[in-house]
Amino acid sequence: MKLDYIKRSCKTNRQAILDKALIEELEYLRKKCFPHQKKSFLWEDFEIREKVFDKEDKTDTLGLYVWDEGNLKHIIYITKIYIWGSQKLHQSWQRKIYYNKIKMVIRHELIHCFVKEQWEYKCKRFITDKNVDASPIFLAVLQFVDGYTGHDCYKGYMKTELYKRIQNNEFKTYKKLHDYLADYLWEFTEAIEKIKKISNQDRFIKQEDKNYFTITNEFKFAPRKNGLDKFMEVNYIDVYTKDKETRKQIMINRTWNIGCNIEPKDLIKLYNKKQDCQAQYYNNIKNLIIMPVCANVEDMNAKDIRTISIKNDKNF
């Protein structure tokens, strides 16, 4: 299909351009990652559509990837502006420029699809969102296939050892890159294992600690940022009073976003440094639990326990 000048564009011929560019990019990526192999680049079904991005999407958005969980399908949206440019500009070289821009956006979105299929299930109990824009896994694969991203996080990624290794062409094949990234991800897993759940349960059972606490940490790769970000924290504190004695039960649930220039060896150090920082989204709940005066715990009824809310402070 030639990129002829089209005076009056319609959805059918715009979709034909998207389909053509998608087929070309899928074949390019298949040869780049799986040369001499008769296998598809993606396992799941996929679809490409045009879209006019509005203010809610941010007007500078050029493409969007969505995973349709219900239909198990990748959906890629491409800005309508680029499609118009490949049709309605008068000079053929101008139309070609916009067609190549369409292909680069499609390549970026296809890597979102690819990393979700190839990597999201790996070490999922420890870290998720491996295919988001600031994930080092996503950026490494995108860099390997000569893809492009306009997000600011790429500047931080360029300072990493991972970027330099790929830039120096240390990985001649995707298989070699895959093996390196698998070890890289495992290093994150080993660090997260040490801080995924922190508790004084043993000391509390032995009555060495008067109060009980547990901290549960969930880790995801960051959608945009470079560093380690405490994204959300929910803090429950129950203060118990019985026979003039006060005890506390503290339960803290945190969600952390790991940016693309965080090295696995630095994760625990950064966690210790930032664990007391205020989260972007927080919910602090504190209750006073007044226990009835009973000889045995077995004699207590739920209706006899009084709960008084002391604090309920949240920003979401």
Of the ranges 32-46, 54-68, 101-115, the best mean pLDDT one? 101-115
Q: 98, 119, 140: which is the final residue of a domain?
A: 119
d(CA 100, CA 84): 13
Question: Would you place residue 247 in the very low, low, confident or very high pLDDT band (cuts 50, 70, 90)?
Answer: confident
- Structural domains of the chain, count: 2
- The answer to whether residue 99 is domain-embedded is yes
- The answer to whether residue 147 is domain-embedded is no
pLDDT of amino acid 112: 98
Question: What residue ranges in 25-119 does DSSP mark as E strands?
Answer: 45-51, 63-68, 73-79
Question: Would you place residue 257 in the very low, low, confident or very high pLDDT band (cuts 50, 70, 90)?
Answer: very high
Average pLDDT for the chain: 91
- The answer to whether residue 105 is domain-embedded is yes
Answer whether 254's CB lies under 8 Å from 272's CB: no
- The answer to whether residue 271 is domain-embedded is yes
| Mean pLDDT value across residues 106-135 | 97
109 and 209 share a domain? no
pLDDT of amino acid 229: 96
pLDDT of amino acid 58: 57
pLDDT of amino acid 299: 63
Angle at 110 between CA 104 and CA 115, to 5 degrees: 130
d(CA 81, CA 98): 9
The answer for residues whose C-beta is within 8 angstroms of residue 248's C-beta and 6 or more apart is 211, 212, 213, 237, 238, 239, 240
208 and 303 share a domain? yes
Question: Would you place residue 57 in the very low, low, confident or very high pLDDT band (cuts 50, 70, 90)?
Answer: low
Question: What residue ranges in the chain does DSSP mark as E strands?
Answer: 45-51, 63-68, 73-79, 127-128, 197-199, 212-221, 228-242, 245-258, 281-290, 306-314
- The answer to whether residue 248 is domain-embedded is yes
pLDDT of amino acid 169: 94
pLDDT digits (tens, 9 = 90+) for 296-315: 656 666 677 788 888 888 89
107 and 206 share a domain? no
pLDDT of amino acid 241: 78
pLDDT of amino acid 166: 97
The structure's pTM equals 0.89
Longest dimension (CA), the chain: 91
pLDDT of amino acid 215: 95
Question: Would you place residue 6 in the very low, low, confident or very high pLDDT band (cuts 50, 70, 90)?
Answer: confident
Question: Would you place residue 90 in the very low, low, confident or very high pLDDT band (cuts 50, 70, 90)?
Answer: confident
Structural domain that includes position 67? 1-119
| Mean pLDDT value across residues 16-38 | 95
- The answer to whether residue 184 is domain-embedded is no
**Is residue 294 helix, strand or coil?**
coil
Residue 7 DSSP label: S
* pLDDT over 80 at 207, yes or no: yes
- The answer to whether residue 310 is domain-embedded is yes
Q: 97, 119, 141: which is the final residue of a domain?
A: 119
- The answer to whether residue 53 is domain-embedded is yes
Q: How many residues does the chain have?
A: 316
Question: Which residue has tokens 């694969």?
Answer: 141
pLDDT of amino acid 11: 85
| Mean pLDDT value across residues 150-166 | 94
pLDDT digits (tens, 9 = 90+) for 161-185: 999 999 999 999 999 999 999 999 9
CA 184 to chain centre: 16
Answer whether 148's CB lies under 8 Å from 188's CB: no
Q: 62, 88, 119: which is the final residue of a domain?
A: 119
pLDDT of amino acid 31: 96
